[in-house]
Structure 1
């Protein structure tokens, strides 16, 4: 009997789907006594350490879980499921962990690196064990701001390490008890292989495997974006516009069905899939939102991270029932999303934060990050260039641009917009990004109205200005037309990820060709 300890936080649907994909059935832990009845126990999770442990206590799971672990019975922890095995975490200093493994969880503190550690990285096996045999050179998906440190007291637990600035613990194991910091259910075929080994009882066997790599490599991410809306016939389609106009000959441009396209991109090697619900369904009751079904179906066959944006805000449905932004995000996570993307509402939030001068915990950014961790919150922003003759002509911070304005202006600032780029606000993109980071966001999806649909390449000045201003990961978006544009943005700005839509939808540039180009220029990517 394979049992899933679902304590109510994060996307566990993908774990369920991965296990079913491998031909196994799951039993849910519904009561504390179910834990000790389990034959193989899986503890997945994302989010904040304190929230996870408090939830375990509230459900009465802590003591039976400790008893199960003390007996050395088959156990696989994932992400928070690894961190909770330790004594405590800097993330929640007053909250005790399960205390099975000596040591505390620490925050990444290398200021040269973006935090969260978000993306595909390698691992270095430290023990001879079948669970992670033949993983040298493989990339696995990590998303976390805190990590376990290897010490003399816990050295005998360390199964594998990973490098992000400095080495950290990527996997632990003693006997049949194992846990990994990465997400196997989001690591494609490599992750499914690990899950299958645990499910078939291979976790404690040895293989004689030798020769792990000396260092691991953090890969740049290539993300496929699907703008989703209904067409005039009411069908849900993937579309793409030029300068945000998605109509062609009077009809909504139809580039395919969202689930089918997402599966194609997964098979072609996309590192993540992002769905943006660009127009519809935002005033409907949450239970009726078609994007939920898209996520459910996609997560059954796509085993890389999924982000969903559009409508992540508080609203009152047609029955008069109020839904908080946290309620909406929770339903998306339960339907298969790993991250939620907040757009225009984030701009309004930052304006209020700027006027108030302090955080008050009321925003969707703060609330979702508090429960699910900042790595679950992506901010999507659509800036446009505003040209001025000199810095004195605006109160906003400007750059001296190599791309002159329509009247030869040599200075500009990047104005945040809302409502799909139709309305500008008195808010600079750099100030906005810093405020979002302070509020708890874990990633910035940086679009460019000026470059959208042009194929002229990413706006390198915009991307560099924002990525230099924050310590969280930035995704460059808008303007990619050739494989060389991806090399340019990574070399010129150091961002962690680049996103494209139309060129992938129309098969003008294959994802494999992008990765071949990057690899040829010495840029680390996932094969």
Structure 2
């Protein structure tokens, strides 16, 4: 298609959207100047990041008025996530004004009965419906039997005043919000089609193939409220530990307590469980809801532009259309020539290469220590704060590596303790969870409660909760740890470490109400296929996403 343009104001992961469009056989041109908008016959605005950052960038680059003119011209327009939110008058996230094309204000989710950000797969209930308009399905292929990937802390509550604009609504907890809008030539989604598996790719195809212009006078409008219900699903995440082996090749590995070498007399080579790009594609096809890469090689002598994990992300995002998280190395780095890159610069490079979220480990512990030393006042200098400000809280994951420290009585420590039914080596009935850095090799005077609460205050949007005591044991997740962390924060939590069978996933979802569960080795070695996990969890009554049909 000639005349298909994408408005990228310079923030976040747009590579996945480009790859999805190209997979469908279309070429897309980047808008590089406001005058390019006059050349566009179809325009997609992928919203990645925070509302204020997006609107400020549009203003600074001179895009606001030309964008309004393009939409007013009647030519097809598609906005995604923040690209939809900017269509409204404003947002509680920022003082910046929106485009004002749709009446209303974007509001922050309440967190009374749910984790915020709303991060994961949820259904979209079609409100407007007509079978076909000039070959274009008016609901753009949105199907009530599918779930789509959402990642946001702000949304537009549904009201009768928005009835003419609302294409679909979604319920999360007790709140019903607008998850897609459509009127005339305008089509926008709060969810990310390019990250919603084949269901989302089909939706993009519907927009690209059709005229993109709908006769609103022929639309049937349903009442979105009576039949609405929360269909938010639990996520199953596949994690890939990636490092260089002795030949310099990147491989997916897994070990016991970070020992990733084969057990031989000479020490053995790095355990090789597959190539990261190929393995990620396999997991996507098997139904993984998200893929996480953990870089466990420093690559300290590489210029940032040549970091091997950037190429892994670029290639993975060509065939994997679910969210990608990258962890390891998200910190200030210095090139061999002395050029310094901030953690924000590093994160930006990963986002542009295909990542949707970055995971911060040791540096999060140091940031929390700094936060407490500063009387619990954020000073705006940490990587967590800077990345969240530019890309939104949902882009920042904190990877926590705690281990149990047993005490006979809570009075023996100043840290937050729990009473445990699993006594310590000397019969201790209490323990606290010590945070570690440097891959678990160094303990700090900081407990997991302190870390997660500080990181939430600093702007993080999700906690990846590992457990050193459970890693590699296949004995199940540390339920006590997960319950304790869930009670301390309102952001989503990913349970990690210890999964050995499908029953462990059922247990962690039912007993802790955690939003997602992660596994690595059992998936790599095919000891427990992802399909089996999902089938078991679904049979137990827990909502999970099914495996998409191919295009």
Instruction: Tell whether 2:173 aligns with 1:172.
Output: no
Q: Which residue of 1 aligns with 2:6?
A: 4
Q: Contact 1:416/1:426 (CA < 8 Å) preserved in 2?
A: yes
Q: Which residue of 2 aligns with 1:412?
A: 431
Instruction: Tell whether 2:163 aligns with 1:155.
Output: yes
Q: Which residue of 2 aligns with 1:126?
A: 127
The separation in 1 between residues aligned to 2:99 and 2:324, in whole angstroms, is 30
CA root-mean-square deviation: 1.5
Q: Which residue of 1 aligns with 2:527?
A: 508
Give the TM-score normalised by structure 1: 0.98
Within 5 A, what are the aligned runs for 1:32-431? Answer: 32-92=34-94, 94-129=95-130, 130=137, 131-133=139-141, 135-165=143-173, 166-201=175-210, 203-204=212-213, 214-248=228-262, 249=264, 250-357=268-375, 358-431=377-450
* CA deviation profile, 1:394-419 (whole Å, cap 9, x unmatched): 11110000111111111000000011
* CA deviation profile, 1:148-172 (whole Å, cap 9, x unmatched): 1223332200000000121100000
C-alpha deviation, 1:244, in angstroms: 1.2
* CA deviation profile, 1:430-487 (whole Å, cap 9, x unmatched): 1100000000000000000000000000000011111111000000000000100000
The separation in 2 between residues aligned to 1:31 and 1:203, in whole angstroms, is 24
Cα 1:198/1:364, change in 2 over 3 Å: same
Q: Report which stretch shifted further, 225-234 or 131-140.
A: 131-140
C-alpha deviation, 1:279, in angstroms: 2.2
The separation in 2 between residues aligned to 1:242 and 1:432, in whole angstroms, is 25
Within 5 A, what are the aligned runs for 1:428-507? Answer: 428-507=447-526
The separation in 2 between residues aligned to 1:151 and 1:464, in whole angstroms, is 36
Q: Contact 1:113/1:471 (CA < 8 Å) preserved in 2?
A: yes
Cα 1:202/1:455, change in 2 over 3 Å: farther
C-alpha deviation, 1:283, in angstroms: 4.5
Secondary structure (helix, strand or coil) at the match of 2:255 reads coil
Give the TM-score normalised by structure 2: 0.94
* CA deviation profile, 1:260-291 (whole Å, cap 9, x unmatched): 00000000000000000012314522012100
The separation in 2 between residues aligned to 1:284 and 1:386, in whole angstroms, is 38
The separation in 2 between residues aligned to 1:312 and 1:214, in whole angstroms, is 40
Q: Contact 1:115/1:473 (CA < 8 Å) preserved in 2?
A: yes
C-alpha deviation, 1:211, in angstroms: 11
The separation in 1 between residues aligned to 2:510 and 2:368, in whole angstroms, is 30
The separation in 2 between residues aligned to 1:136 and 1:348, in whole angstroms, is 45
Q: Contact 1:133/1:207 (CA < 8 Å) preserved in 2?
A: no
The separation in 2 between residues aligned to 1:3 and 1:159, in whole angstroms, is 23
* CA deviation profile, 1:469-514 (whole Å, cap 9, x unmatched): 1000000000000100000001111110000000000000010111
Structure 1 gap segments, 5+ residues each: none
Cα 1:210/1:507, change in 2 over 3 Å: farther
The separation in 2 between residues aligned to 1:252 and 1:477, in whole angstroms, is 22
